[in-house]
Chain A
């Protein structure tokens, strides 16, 4: 079947989509957007997190056809040209990236958190990122990254 949607601000059309295929597969294998990672395929790991119609979802759990006509934002769409988004910069600067596999999902989830709650508590950060697994960092550096991103995207003073 044919799928039309708007991905990272661009109208895209894909032919030959299998009816049982996930949005994640479409993004990675048909649209050449491998930023969203394919790991658990059951919504456990959050590595495939994207925005669908402005809502944070696991793209592995979205049936391709459900995205017809929808606006999708992936990790590839966050930076403006060469300039990384402040959330991405914060992950780089704090050493929150080790193997990097979970990073795109965590960046999207952090972006979503700060959109909804510009000044989250540590408990709120943990709750917001509960669906994103990282097997390298032990999460401390990731929490640092979110705290730094909170400062950079908000009105708070940057202590550094």
Chain B
């Protein structure tokens, strides 16, 4: 094994191209477990913690470009006002030690169906910016992740950043696990309200091979809000409509039985998470009237 430590983004891309099969590492919260348990012996380890460009984030109009090396702790401390859903999700990751090291770029790279940062990214139609020495491309996050721990990153590419619109309304994230910390989601859900466009984004995690948008449930609840004029009236939503919404989210799942929970439990629990998350977000919207 060889250890590579580029000091700039250009050097990092050159190293990635020159040493095919190099394993990128930032916070190590996934990669080090593989090494410690002898599960993986990549020929090269590509340390990206010395690449200053990866730590930066900035706004571009009403969108943000967030470098892949921004940690969960920084997402909570620096991005809560612009990306509240991502901040809430980041708070549920691991422990302070894990949040201090783990990065959102790493969550994208690991492409776990249970990745906590992913539902907020899906719900806001984020794009992943990947780069090689040959150039840069942007991939919608839903196209980036193709299966459990699988994505379209090529062997010569690195994740540079993600691009995401600033929140234009309340956002929520909710998660089921056996305790209130250090939990890989049994199932989880990110929700965004877009009052200007009269849209609702819902993404379910850990209840299918990848995180996924619950499109039918989105369309249903958008229809209810528009037909009953609730965006304008700031009115409360009918309990039966909310129950139907939860059912539709549950029906959108494609979960498995595994060590963390059964498929049936996940399908049920996701519906509950959806109703609650929508309720919290809608209350916040109404409170802002």
What residues of chain A have their CB less than 8 Å away from a CB belonging to chain B?
1, 18-20, 22, 41-44, 46, 49, 55-58, 60-63, 65-66, 68, 109, 112, 127-128, 130-132
Sorting the interface of chain B by its residue count into under 10, 10 to 19, 20 to 34 or 35 or more gives: 20 to 34
Contact of A131 with B182 in the complex, beta carbons under 8 Å:
yes
Q: How far is the CA of A22 from the CA of B25 in the complex (A)?
A: 13
Which of B1, B28, B95 is the one whose CB lies under 8 Å from A66?
B28
Contact of A130 with B1 in the complex, beta carbons under 8 Å:
no
Asked whether any CB of chain A lies closer than 8 Å to the CB of B110, the reply is no
Residues of B within 8 Å of A44, CB to CB, are 182
Q: How far is the CA of A22 from the CA of B37 in the complex (A)?
A: 12
From residue B30, how far is it (CB to closest CB) to chain A in Å?
A: 9
Asked whether any CB of chain A lies closer than 8 Å to the CB of B180, the reply is yes
From known contacts A56-B96, A131-B98, infer whether A61 and B27 are also in contact, taking CB-CB under 8 Å. Answer: yes
Residues of A within 8 Å of B27, CB to CB, are 61
From residue A40, how far is it (CB to closest CB) to chain B in Å?
A: 9
4 residue pairs, one from A and one from B, having the closest CB atoms: A131-B95, A130-B181, A41-B36, A19-B3
Which of B1, B41, B45, B97 is the one whose CB lies under 8 Å from A43?
B97
Chain A CB within 10 Å, residue with most, of B27, B33, B36, B47: B36
Residues of A within 8 Å of B96, CB to CB, are 56, 109, 112, 127-128, 130-131
Q: How far is the CA of A49 from the CA of B180 in the complex (A)?
A: 20
Chain A CB within 10 Å, residue with most, of B1, B36, B94, B97: B97
Closest to A21 in B: B35
Q: Which of B61-99 contact A (CB under 8 A)?
A: 94-98
Residues of B within 8 Å of A109, CB to CB, are 96-97
Closest to A127 in B: B181
From residue A113, how far is it (CB to closest CB) to chain B in Å?
A: 8
Which of A43, A63, A66, A127 is the one whose CB lies under 8 Å from B98?
A43
Residues of B within 8 Å of A132, CB to CB, are 95
Q: How far is the CA of A128 from the CA of B96 in the complex (A)?
A: 6
